């Protein structure tokens, strides 16, 4: 991720790095190709520039940039695998077959080797029709505690399963890169149980995601909402939008 010069205060940097991981997980030659190939291109030579805005309950907004590109396919454990690279130094290995498009490994800049996913982590699952569902593990990326260290809830190791479902087809989406037609909407929902405050005790906190995939560029917009509604916790909302797209 290439951040704007107006960087956040040091105590916010880890949160922004975590959001980059969330986003690049979504962004991250064969014939015949399944329909999902048009909604998540893997061919080498693609390049995307996204803006990221994190809105905080106190009215503050953080802005940064995410630049992704596709590299030539390579052999990974004996199978052709496609690689996506973030300018932040994060790489993702993906495969495409009749079941959809899914991630099989990732590598961060400090990792010596790629870390394999225990099970395939779907980006889009076939068939591309309303009601198709899948699940993937997630963590709270925006929720923070008002006091204590570390403030980021994700460091507590609270991984939960998010349920994704194809919610709509043939949608029209307008972003800074232009207006796109024939788009597909995916919604994700999860809850993480956290200690909210002394009055209500433990509470289920919602984690909600909406993603828009369009023919050609693929992911053009994403929203992640993690409201807190607590005296001990602070939430936020992330909005990702496509600004530029270059095809091979």
Class for domain 10-246, per CATH?
A: mainly beta
For residue 4, pLDDT over 70 is answered with: no
> In angstroms, rounded to a whole number, what is the distance separating the alpha carbons of residues 71 and 44?
5
Residues 152/228, Cβ–Cβ less than 8 Å: no
Tell me how many helices (H) and strands (E) the chain has.
2, 14
For residue 181, pLDDT over 90 is answered with: yes
What are the angstrom distances between the C-alpha of 154 and each of 51, 86, 142, 215? 23, 22, 8, 33
Residues 82/97, Cβ–Cβ less than 8 Å: no
DSSP 141-187: SS-EESSSSS-BGGGGT--EEEEEEEEEEEEEEEETTEEEEEEEEEE
Q: Residue ranges per domain, the chain? A: 10-246
Q: What percent of the chain has pLDDT over 70?
A: 83
Residues 101/120, Cβ–Cβ less than 8 Å: no
pLDDT of residue 195: 77
Pairing of strands 91-97, 100-107: antiparallel
> In angstroms, rounded to a whole number, what is the distance separating the alpha carbons of residues 238 and 164?
18
Mean pLDDT value across the chain = 85
Q: Hey, what are 90's tokens? A: 């994060």
pLDDT of residue 27: 56
What are the angstrom distances between the C-alpha of 110 and each of 76, 81, 91, 100? 20, 22, 11, 30
Closest CA to 225 of 140, 151, 152, 124: 140
pLDDT of residue 6: 31
pLDDT interval class at 152 (50, 70, 90): confident
């Amino acid at each position: 991720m290439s951040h704007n010069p107006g960087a956040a205060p040091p105590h916010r940097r880890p949160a922004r790095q975590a959001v980059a991981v969330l986003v690049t997980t979504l962004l991250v030659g064969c014939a015949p190709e399944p329909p999902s190939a048009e909604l998540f291109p893997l061919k080498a030579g693609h390049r995307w520039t996204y803006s990221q805005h994190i809105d905080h309950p106190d009215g503050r907004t953080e802005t940064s940039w995410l630049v992704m590109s596709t590299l030539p396919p390579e052999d990974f454990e004996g199978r052709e695998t496609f690689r996506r690279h973030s300018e932040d130094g994060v790489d993702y290995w993906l495969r495409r077959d009749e079941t959809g498009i899914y991630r099989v490994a990732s590598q961060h800049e400090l990792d010596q080797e790629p870390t394999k996913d225990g099970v395939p982590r779907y980006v889009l699952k076939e068939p591309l029709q309303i009601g198709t569902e899948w699940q993937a593990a997630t963590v709270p990326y925006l929720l923070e505690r008002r006091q204590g260290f570390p403030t980021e809830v994700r460091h507590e190791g609270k991984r939960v399963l998010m349920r994704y479902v194809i919610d709509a087809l043939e949608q029209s989406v307008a972003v800074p890169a232009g207006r796109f037609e024939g788009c597909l909407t995916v919604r994700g929902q999860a809850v993480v149980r956290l200690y909210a405050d002394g009055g209500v005790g433990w509470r289920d906190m919602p984690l909600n995601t909406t993603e828009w995939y369009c023919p050609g560029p693929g992911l053009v917009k994403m929203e992640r909402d993690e409201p807190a509604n607590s005296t001990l916790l602070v939430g936020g909302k992330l909005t990702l939008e496509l600004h530029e797209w270059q095809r091979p």
